[in-house]
Structure 1
């Protein structure tokens, strides 16, 4: 009996050692060191396959109407899906085709840059005197995969969101997630860049590159216990419970 109890104690110690510790679970453990730190939002640049909504307006709506898709008659009553279908799709070369202005090079520019570019062309080419131009990206989305409660493709309406916002949209990380090495994959100027982020630290919050942008991919890896169990055991406490249950059953059978 003593040997069995010793075995159970050693087994519990082994399981607890393999369990996830607080240091590997808690986010932003040194956040107090970054109180009142400046915010860096960065800028989002337009990429191929983005869908743009470009509204041109003027004091006289009739003179601005030809520069809007459908003459600007649809307005704000259109659904998002319809606007995506009728928006300006950026070609692999980074171009869109607008009414009258024809081809406009927008790839690599920010939405604010495109607003200035279109406004300048309308004025310099003699079409409008003092137009107002508004540009929005309609299909902002990111993909998050791995150890989150709700993986998949997630849309967002802002120009960019924080990494913590993205994790929140995915229902938070699971207990089995590795928080010290989150991979952020981004395409910039035709190249793929991979960032490695430690969520238990806070320094990354001041880095503008770590704000989520259009088409970003976030990969959350599983810890060794989840990998070694083949995905059958999702929580170390679950594994401990199963082992103790089988041990208790064995003792009951043996004593009877």
Structure 2
């Protein structure tokens, strides 16, 4: 009887340590419903353009023929597709410039998209047009590009045609974190003008809504670590873990009985 009791205790402890807790897989948890409802997001600072960013710049006027020379398309791809935006957009070079037809080199490094728009409008009005031409400039990021890897359903480099993307949206766009992914320690590697920085965020906590890393930036690298249970080789749920442990114990007991027979 003592041996049976000991066996059940060992089996219970192994199950408890191998199973993945419900709290480890639920996003945006809070201490109470009141706290969950009162979480406020931090205001996001305007993104400032960096080298290797791709910018979509479109110039419009009352007479569109006047600005056709500025809006050159080099591919047959849709102008709103990721491929079309990449090839027909303006890539910021290592010196922080973009090369626009007729205007030539325009310095944009460290500027916001709104500042780039105003700068191009002023240069057009100063050098080529007057106010009566009613020049209208649109400057956008040519999709928000990021790379996600690790315990994710669909890893790889992704591009979302939005100016603002949260880390939760980026993960959802990649098929969500697998059951064996560590949602409490997701790493973000970010390229900044002064170098590369690395951060860790907890997706299971509602406090992430206040984090400055809640919104991802272009060229971010997101890595989802595996939880310890994956390296142990147990199942991803209670039933699988129980089956695995029971099979292993059955094999051990059977081997022991055969040896001592």
TM-score, normalised via structure 1 length: 0.84
Contact 1:12–1:240 (Cα < 8 Å) also in 2: no
Q: Structure 1 unaligned segments of length 5 or more: list them.
A: none
3-state DSSP class of the match of 1:221?
A: strand
Structure 1: how far apart are the matches of 2:199 and 2:49? 20
* 2:205 counterpart residue number: 201
State which drifts further: 204-213 or 90-99: 204-213
1:131-210 aligned at under 5 Å gives the runs 131-210=135-214
Partners of 2:9 and 2:80 lie apart in 1 by 66
1:243-254 alignment to 2 at 5 Å?
243-248=245-250
In the alignment, which residue of structure 2 is the partner of 1:23? 23
Aligned ranges for residues 1-256 of structure 1 at < 5 Å? 3-4=3-4, 6-30=6-30, 32-35=34-37, 37-38=40-41, 40-70=43-73, 79-129=81-131, 130-227=134-231, 229=232, 232-233=233-234, 235=236, 237=238, 238-248=240-250
**Contact map agreement 2:82 2:143 (CA 8 A) in 1:** no
The change in CA–CA distance for 1:77 and 1:53 in structure 2 (over 3 A counts) is closer
Deviations 1:160-210 (A, max 9, x none): 211111111122222222222211111111411212111221122123432
Q: CA RMSD in A?
A: 3.0
Matches of 2:112 and 2:103, distance apart in 1: 19
CA change 1:32–1:213 in 2 (3 A) is: farther
Unaligned runs of 5+ in 2: none
Q: Which moved more, 1:236-245 or 1:56-65?
A: 236-245
Aligned length: 252
When residues 188 and 77 of structure 1 are mapped into structure 2, their CA distance, relative to the original with a 3 A threshold, is: closer
**TM-score normalised according to structure 2 size:** 0.83
Structure 1 86/46 Cα, relative in aligned 2: closer, same or farther at 3 Å? same
